[in-house]
Amino acid sequence: MGSKNKLKRFKENETFQNVIQPTREEVLNNFALKGKWHSFFKNEHPIVLELGCGKGEYTIALARKNPNTNYIGIDIKGARFWRGAKTAIEEGINNVAFVRTQIELVDFLFAENEVSQIWITFPDPQIKYKRTKHRMTNSSFLKKYHHILNENGIVNLKTDSEFMHGYTLGLLHGEGHEVLNANHNVYKNEGSPKEVTETQTFYENQYLEVGKPITYIQFRLKY
């Protein structure tokens, strides 16, 4: 993507009512919407997050199917989720928002028990050991998710990375969390929710074209 195109998208994001772009300081210092997201959506519907939402395909697809649930895509790359934000506006999908910030700040964006469900779709597996702290299912991230999820809240991980799948399963079992569903190939094995098999992202389609299996884990955190 050219720099001019990126700048154009950044400018357009500033005009979208469904895009929030706080500074890091604003997030860390009593973020205005923390604990008040229902006032943003003007309803009391459950809140579901997509972390590292990219173009926002999953956020938009789920929002279309579930109008009585609010969806929030979070990513630091605003030029990417511009597509999802614009699609929501064009189609009149009002149960969608996008936040431009770092994923590691998620527990500053939401209050305790404010979120019902989290989706992590095709994250960077950060395979090198020195990158462990950046894996979105490491112990530190899981604690952040647990803090903002309600009592019955669940996390969904969909990935093409067998490493990420195995690492996460091992960690979940080791820490005593509840694994609700684990599938090594969602398109060949039965048992995955429709939300997993009926929605494909841009990158997922590329993986499928070269025959990479798509894995899935659904879990509930227990501390």
Whether 124 is a known active-site residue: answer yes
Q: pLDDT for 111-149, tens place per residue? A: 999 999 999 999 999 999 899 999 999 999 999 999 999
Which residues face 50 on adjacent strands?
73, 119
- Give the pTM: 0.95
Q: What is the mean pLDDT of the chain?
A: 95
Q: pLDDT for 74-87, tens place per residue? A: 999 999 999 999 99
The count of other CB atoms within 10 Å of the CB of residue 89 is 17
Say if residue 68's pLDDT is above 90. Answer: yes
Portion of the chain with pLDDT greater than 70, in percent: 99
Q: pLDDT for 177-189, tens place per residue? A: 999 999 999 999 8
Say if residue 1's pLDDT is above 80. Answer: no
Q: Name the 3-class secondary structure at 80.
A: helix
Q: Spell out the domains of the chain, with CATH numbers in brackets.
A: 3-220 (3.40.50.150)
